[in-house]
A = this chain, B = another copy of it.
Amino acid sequence: MSSKIKIGLLGCGTVGSGLVKILNNHKQVEIAKIFVRNEKRAKQIAKDLALDLAIFTWNIDDVLTDSSISIVVELMGGVDQTKKHLIKALENGKDIVTANKDLLALEGDDLFAAAEKYKRTIMYEAAVAGGIPIITTLKQSLAANKIICLQGILNGTTNYILDVMKKEGKPFAEVLMAAQELGFAEADPTNDIDGHDAAYKVAILASIISGKRVDVNKVYREGISKITKMDINSAQKRGYEIKLLGMIFNNEDKLDARVHPVFVPLDNPLASVGMENNAILVKGDASDTITLIGKGAGSLPTASSVAGDIMILISKESSEPNPLQISNFTEAAELKNIDEVENSFYIRISMHDKLGVLRDLGEALFRHNANVKFIDQYDVHGSEAHADFIIDPIQEKELRAIVKDLEAMDSIKAVESVIRVL
């Protein structure tokens, strides 16, 4: 396969720009055409991303009907009009990669039916939880499982607000305003705050889990605007964190799919996922519980998922074994010898309780340029004293020289422990 697979891009905002960067100089794929809304915007983006203006178009049909393009990547948003465009792309034999959760949750039926009709594939890893590979995990790795339940922090804005409310003890409205100023919440935050965004994602995940169409309007939904400081304090007192979760329980005849704030016990891995991060806990009948944590948004993390979908699509084109599965690496890796590795170290010594020990220790460390982060000296059994300290990263061979020096010192009885620090 010498010629590159050609990709058409619809929209080139935050995620599109990320994708351009990731696929820059890629061996197998090439962004052949980019649709943006007008010439002015095309010129701006071409300049910003150092791209040839000639690959831009402001006529969407130039992408949808270009027979050299095999994959259309939709990153422009919108629902009704966008659906029409994507069905036209499918008609024209193109596979689709999209990050458009609203489109999939609202108009997925028509889109997926069109894909089946034209024997094409629609990939949408980036539509749920940005850079976290939940769709691939559900559709491939857990394909032989019945999924019993899924719980997810699917909206970064609300997780950020709840986390800051907890950490800073401030009320919802104040934290929301600060989040808007920092760009963590939109000017009109309704979509996030009231759980609409999370509900779209729940609808998409619930479809995969149940193998049935799920109407997003039937997903129960409650936002976080009524959560108070007092609620958060009470939760903490009882050993819980308040999180806005999307939840799907698949253990009965009827599917139970909903989005609402919930007290999450601290031993649930979702409880400790802070700031704008996303996370999904999924329990299969065979796999047991798997938790995935990562970035739910952002230019590069989301584009990483889009690019992963593209790689999965093109691996299917090959008549050879799946190129993504090949592990026949011919070149030998050169491994760093442990002597050359730099690490921070925790060191504990036992000392004779006499004058000048600390001075001797300090001098030894100084001789080896080892910078001490903190040191603690304490008695254990009367005449024996201990000290422990952490030193900044140094090469392992230097560390061994330090240990040798310390062990040779009269005032030091033993180097009791040396453990690396991450």
The chain A residues found within 8 Å of chain B, CB to CB, are 18, 21-23, 26, 95, 108, 112-113, 115-116, 119-125, 131-133, 136-137, 139-145, 151, 206-208, 210-215, 218-220, 226-228, 230-231, 234-235, 238, 240, 242, 245, 252-258, 260-265, 268-269, 272, 284-295, 298, 300-301, 303-305, 307-308, 310-312, 315-316, 320-322, 324-336, 338, 340-341, 346, 348, 374, 388, 390, 416-417, 419-422
Contact = CB atoms under 8 A, between A and B. Distances in A.
A231 to B, nearest CB: 5
A278 to B, nearest CB: 10
Contacts of A26: 144
Contact of A144 (B22, B116, B284): B22
A390 to B, nearest CB: 7
Contacts of A304: 141-142, 144-145, 284, 286-287
Contacts of A287: 131, 294-295, 300-301, 304-305
Contacts of A22: 144-145, 286
B262 A341 contact: no
Contact of A326 (B116, B253, B264): B116
B320 A119 contact: yes
A327 B120 CA distance: 11
Contacts of A234: 346, 348, 388, 417
Nearest to A263: B421
B256 A139 contact: no
Counting chain B CB atoms within 10 Å of each CB, which of A219, A320, A332 scores highest? A332
A302 B184 CA distance: 39
A132 B390 CA distance: 33
Contacts of A212: 329, 331-333
B322 A316 contact: yes
Counting chain B CB atoms within 10 Å of each CB, which of A215, A346, A416 scores highest? A346
Contact of A307 (B286, B293, B315, B419): B286
Counting chain B CB atoms within 10 Å of each CB, which of A23, A131, A144, A316 scores highest? A144
B292 A121 contact: no
Contacts of A113: 328
A26 to B, nearest CB: 7
Contact of A207 (B121, B143, B329, B420): B329
A31 to B, nearest CB: 13
